[in-house]
Chains A and B, each alone.
Chain A
């Protein structure tokens, strides 16, 4: 069997777990996992792959919505299946009894532990408003084909 050029699958999961640093890194205060948050953005915002950190520009505002969004539950560590590493929050993301009168259509997942609030991913959905109600984002199946964040 010849040698085969490949990205080692374990590296993908290890990268998700912060075990590599090809460039200057940070001094971590602990070996515990980081805390993540999810912020909502207006249809008029321009969140995309170019985002490097959490940005309040274009974030929704309204009754009972706190800037920066809500905590994301990360009870299940990243996994690998086949050659894909993947991660999905382990619970729905819920904004309870909010009023968000201006249409929004995106959520930014970001690292709330990092000093600069490093961005992870942007996910879009159909335009919504909420009136004295609850906005719930239920996560996809946590597997190599559907997980919220996958490195294939």
Chain B
């Protein structure tokens, strides 16, 4: 059973669609459940690969 826009539903009755995005900034997975042409559930997991650096060295600049 999963949470949906219609309450808890048996996921076996729904069509599951998985997607993945991977780049220098993130690795993201999304899981969707569709009932016909309606998306009733979408969860997303974003893994940030790298944060932000504030450069305060000799140049005094800021870098990402």
Contact = CB atoms under 8 A, between A and B. Distances in A.
B49 A128 contact: no
Contacts, number: 100
A142 B29 CA distance: 21
Interface of B: 3-5, 21, 23, 25-26, 28, 30-32, 39-58, 62-63
Interface of A: 5-7, 12, 49, 83-84, 86, 88, 97, 99, 121, 123-126, 128-140, 145-152
29 contacts: A6-B58, A97-B3, A123-B48, A125-B26, A125-B46, A126-B21, A126-B26, A128-B30, A128-B44, A131-B5, A131-B40, A131-B42, A132-B4, A132-B42, A133-B44, A135-B45, A135-B46, A136-B44, A138-B47, A138-B48, A140-B47, A147-B51, A148-B52, A150-B51, A151-B53, A152-B53, A152-B54, A152-B56, A152-B63
